[in-house]
Structure 1
Amino acid sequence: MHRIGLISDTHGLLRPAAVDFLRGCERIVHAGDIGDASILEALDVLAPVTAVRGNNDREPPLARLPEAVTLQVGAVRLYVLHDLKQLAVDPAAAGVHVVVSGHSHRPLVEQRGGVLFVNPGSAGRRRFALPICVGELRVDGREVTPRVVELDG
């Protein structure tokens, strides 16, 4: 069993509750709009981090992050990008099982054409009335169990 932590849209704020939730993951995926490289450093203390650049990650070293990355977790292939509207591949045709994104600040867990789409929502500063969230993927063989958790209530 693999536990992959999901976080996005921190915008320079790493909440202690997010760190607590992500503790114990074997890998952490940050889906962009990180805001400060120190966030990746703090997450890397917990587990290896895979991160993509968000539309607000314009300054080095964050500007050098890839726009998208493919990650293999056991028998499951993840495709990570910040803005789902920028998805330039057919995930099913590419053998992708899970697409992880951020940007919208809205948590999402949805099956589309045999592919699981997960957005852990925003873990940073509150935007409008949207919840503060993080997520995880539990991967057991080819089975993926997603979970998004609201941190503030």
Structure 2
Amino acid sequence: MKIAILSDTHAKKHSDKLFELIDNLYVESDMIIHAGDYISNSVVSKLKEHKNFVGVWGNNDKGSIRNLLKEKIILTIEGYKIGLYHGHGNSKTTLNTAYDKFSADKVDIIIFGHSHQPLVLTKNKILMINPGSPSCKRRELWYSYVILEIQNKKISVQLKLFK
């Protein structure tokens, strides 16, 4: 299973490059996971054109996006429990907020966004993945997303960076 992971697309009116990336990711991936902050319904619609899309809403998503998606999801893929949450919160770092959101759920992997800073690390035996952003890098040098591959109980994570 090859999964493309996105977050924080913050799409405005002109989303051609983002839509091209999404189309390309669907050609090379089995699934796309988006960790919230789409901003535009058009991004959700584009992702939903493809059958294997899973996503949650982020703190900047309003109205109809929140009606279409959940705030938190737990998936099981190839035997791994994967928690998906945007990462927004008031009192802690984004990493700790996402981690704490699943403290009672016994997940193997947590996918989150919010900070726009790509990150792949383990925290207390849980793989933490933040793909950064493919379209709104803020203070980062690179745009980014992640490819997660799960095959024969083995995990491979590739951080994809581009300008």
TM-score by length of 1: 0.86
Aligned partner of residue 39 in structure 1, secondary structure: helix
Q: 1:63 aligns with which of 61, 66, 88?
A: 66
The runs of at least 4 consecutive aligned structure 1 residues that moved more than 4 Å come to none
Q: Identity across aligned pairs (percent)?
A: 26
CA offsets per residue over residues 34-76 of structure 1, 9 Å max, x none? 111221222233441111110100121x122211100111111
Check whether the contact 1:18–1:151 (CA below 8 A) recurs between aligned residues.
no
Q: Which has the higher contact order (CA 8 A, sep 6+)?
A: 1
Give runs of aligned pairs for residues 15-94 of structure 1, distance below 5 A. 16-60=20-64, 62-64=65-67, 65-83=69-87, 84=94, 85-86=97-98, 87-90=100-103, 94=105
Compute the RMSD of aligned alpha carbons. Answer: 1.9
Mark the runs of 5 or more structure 2 residues left unpaired by the alignment: 88-93
AA partner of residue 61 (structure 2) = D
Structure 1 residues 129, 74: closer, same or farther in 2, change over 3 A? Answer: closer
Counterparts of residues 105-124 of structure 1 (less than 5 Å): 105-124=116-135
Aligned to 1:23, what secondary structure does the other structure show? helix
Cα deviation digits, residues 65-115 of structure 1 (max 9, x gap)? 21110011111111000014254231xx63311100000000000011111
- Tell me the distance in 1 between the aligned counterparts of 2:47 and 2:102: 28
CA gap of 1:27–1:33, structure 2 versus 1, over 3 A, is same
Which residue does the alignment assign to 1:142? 153
Aligned to 2:9: 10
Cα offset, 1:130, TM superposition? 4.0
Partner secondary structure for residue 76 of structure 2: strand
Question: Unaligned stretches of 5+ in structure 1?
Answer: none
Letter in 2 for 1:30: H
TM-score with structure 2 setting the length: 0.81
Distance 1:28 1:104, change over 3 A: same
Does the CA-based 8 Å contact 1:126-1:132 persist in structure 2? yes
1:111 & 1:22 partners in 2: Cα distance? 27
